[in-house]
């Protein structure tokens, strides 16, 4: 029997429209950040803790429909997006079985729609050597191994939906962007439509986990998919959501770790982060030409000795490869693994105290990935180009860290041009970069949850 203490609430202050609310059945307080996901559970993979992330994902990119100088329309858009997201979250709980919605903004939003005086005062700024004073979110560059046809995108807004249930995501997308009458879990949607405020430029769907890469790859006849190990979370065969391979708490935020930006707890964008989005096609045939040990070496580092059947390898702080060991591996083995290429940049190099007084152990990761696989080619919907009906193995990379300058340094290390020259590394001995074909890139600012609807617009 459930017991409760009755609340003394004046009749006029009681919201009868919110009673018998199943969406609040599980009490999970919304985090200050957008990227933390309440309710994520853990599995034990032979002693390795792994986060059970939402199965289904979708990204919707868009531009705003109204002129950049129309500040009244921007204020209206802020109110409309706030109401829309609130309505969806009143139907679907903020948990994996409900829905998570993250809203990020491209640089065009801040440059074109907000006065310079406002962005000068509030935008996070880098404190990394050589980039001091620049915004902590900058335009993405083309990286050395990127193909010539790579598209550097300029979307103003990006919605990232996650749920264990695909229909929850589809219902939310329909309600937000399609003008016809829509419903959310069978409940008529009233305030969710914002399709008159934004012009959708792409819809990108995918999945992570549940053996989906192998199941979908084989069903659709994608070359190389038959060699994906059963149970693989992603197309390349290894688990991606190791607890110790994903930044915990608010570590990816602008302000949390010292030395990256000028943000502090209490800053407008505290709890926000620099987000990178890219679409990367995968050459599964080339990847699975390597034997299991060769793939293990290229994914992690050549010193690993994990058994062939292990998909989830130890990623704890003590397993971190720092720069000196990485360089030694390149010299000794003439090979460098993907993880070790960047770990000295994605993990703290010494025991550290955060801006919130928390102690972080040396080797703890502070870069967060929320990437997921796809078979779309390249997207389900793309207004600026053609989509193909021929399925293709790919990944939507979504990564978050304290600044875009920090991500740029990491991504340059992934191509390892200097390391390759110094040690004479063959192209296929540099992580797995050679099997990647990146088609799209863009950097975004992911604001804290309190400012996810048109940040700074309320200050105009």
What is the 3 state secondary structure string of 443-458? EEEECCHHHCCCCCHH
Sign of CA dihedral 399, 403, 407, 410: negative
E strand segments, 121-218:
151-152, 157-163, 183-184, 187-188, 198-207
Domain membership of residue 388 (yes or no) is yes
Domain membership of residue 1 (yes or no) is no
Domain membership of residue 247 (yes or no) is yes
The pair phi, psi for residue 177, each rounded to 5°, is: -120, -5
- CA max distance for the chain: 77
Domain membership of residue 393 (yes or no) is yes
Low-confidence residues of the chain: pLDDT under 70: 1-12
Cα within 13 Å of Cα(289), Cβ side: 8
200 contacts 60 by C-beta, under 8 angstroms = yes
Is residue 442 within a helix (H) or strand (E), and if so which, with residue range?
strand 436-446
Domain membership of residue 151 (yes or no) is yes
Give the C-alpha separation, 152 to 438, whole Å. Answer: 10
Q: Residue 442 is part of which domain span?
A: 41-124+137-459
DSSP string, 334-368: S-B-HHHHHHHHHB-SS-EE-TTS-EE-TT-B--E
DSSP state of 163: E
Domain membership of residue 27 (yes or no) is no
**Burial class of residue 119 (count of CB atoms within 10 Å of its CB; 0-12, 13-18, 19+):** middle
Overall size of the chain counted in residues: 460
The per-residue pLDDT for 11 is 56
Q: At 301, is the secondary structure helix, strand, or coil?
A: coil
Q: Which residues pair with 275 in a beta bridge?
A: 400, 444
Is residue 436 within a helix (H) or strand (E), and if so which, with residue range?
strand 436-446
Identify which of 442, 441, 346, 364 has the alpha carbon closest to the alpha carbon of residue 402.
Answer: 346
The per-residue pLDDT for 10 is 52
Domain membership of residue 318 (yes or no) is yes
Please give the tally of structural domains in the chain: 1
The per-residue pLDDT for 301 is 98
The per-residue pLDDT for 40 is 95
Helix ranges (H only) for 347-451 are: 404-415, 417-423
Sign of CA dihedral 436, 440, 441, 446: negative
Residues whose CB is less than 8 angstroms from the CB of residue 460 and which lie 6 or more positions away in sequence, other chains included: 71, 74, 75, 114, 115, 118
290 contacts 415 by C-beta, under 8 angstroms = no
Identify which of 142, 156, 151, 143 has the alpha carbon closest to the alpha carbon of residue 384.
Answer: 151
How many of the other CB atoms lie within 10 Å of CB of 227? 14
Domain membership of residue 337 (yes or no) is yes
Give the C-alpha separation, 56 to 64, whole Å. Answer: 26
């Amino acid at each position: 029997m459930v017991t409760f203490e009755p609340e003394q609430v004046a009749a006029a202050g009681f919201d009868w429209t919110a009673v018998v609310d199943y969406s609040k059945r599980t009490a999970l307080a919304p985090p200050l950040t957008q990227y933390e996901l309440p309710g994520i559970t853990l599995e034990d993979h032979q002693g390795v803790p792994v986060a059970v992330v939402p199965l289904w994902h979708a990204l919707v990119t868009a531009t705003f429909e109204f002129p950049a100088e129309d500040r009244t329309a921007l204020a209206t858009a802020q109110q409309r997006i706030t109401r829309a997201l609130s309505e969806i979250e009143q139907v679907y709980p903020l948990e994996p079985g409900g829905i998570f919605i993250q809203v990020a903004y491209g640089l065009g939003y801040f440059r074109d729609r907000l006065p310079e005086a406002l962005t000068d005062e509030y935008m996070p700024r880098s404190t990394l050597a050589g980039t001091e004073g620049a915004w902590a979110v900058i335009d993405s560059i083309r990286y050395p191994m990127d193909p010539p046809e790579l598209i550097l995108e300029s979307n103003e807004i990006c919605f990232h939906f996650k749920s264990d249930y695909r229909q929850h995501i589809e219902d939310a997308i329909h309600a937000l962007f399609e003008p016809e009458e829509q419903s959310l879990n069978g409940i008529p949607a009233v305030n969710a439509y914002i399709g008159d405020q934004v012009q959708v430029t792409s819809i990108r769907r995918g999945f992570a986990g549940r053996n989906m890469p192998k199941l979908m790859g084989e069903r659709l006849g994608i070359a190389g998919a038959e060699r994906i190990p059963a149970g693989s979370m992603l197309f390349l065969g290894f688990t991606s959501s190791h607890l110790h391979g994903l930044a915990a708490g608010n570590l990816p935020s602008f302000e949390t770790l010292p030395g990256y930006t000028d943000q502090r707890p209490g800053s407008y964008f505290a709890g926000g982060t620099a987000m990178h989005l890219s679409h990367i096609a995968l050459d599964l045939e080339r990847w699975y030409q390597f034997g299991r040990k060769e793939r293990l070496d290229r994914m992690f580092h050549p010193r690993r000795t994990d058994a062939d059947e292990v998909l989830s390898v130890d990623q704890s702080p003590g397993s971190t490869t720092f720069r000196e060991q990485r360089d030694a591996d390149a010299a000794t083995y003439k090979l460098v693994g993907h993880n070790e290429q960047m770990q000295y940049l994605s993990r703290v190099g010494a025991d550290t105290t955060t801006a919130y007084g928390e102690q972080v152990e040396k080797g703890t990761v502070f870069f967060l990935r929320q990437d997921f696989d796809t078979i779309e080619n390249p997207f389900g919907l793309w207004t600026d180009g053609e989509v193909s009906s021929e399925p293709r193995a790919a990944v939507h990379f979504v990564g978050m860290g304290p600044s875009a300058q920090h991500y740029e340094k990491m991504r340059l290390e992934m191509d390892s041009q200097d390391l390759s020259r110094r040690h004479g590394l063959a192209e296929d001995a540099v992580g797995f970069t050679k099997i990647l074909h990146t088609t799209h890139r863009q950097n975004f600012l992911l604001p804290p949850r309190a400012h996810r609807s048109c940040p700074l617009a309320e200050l105009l």
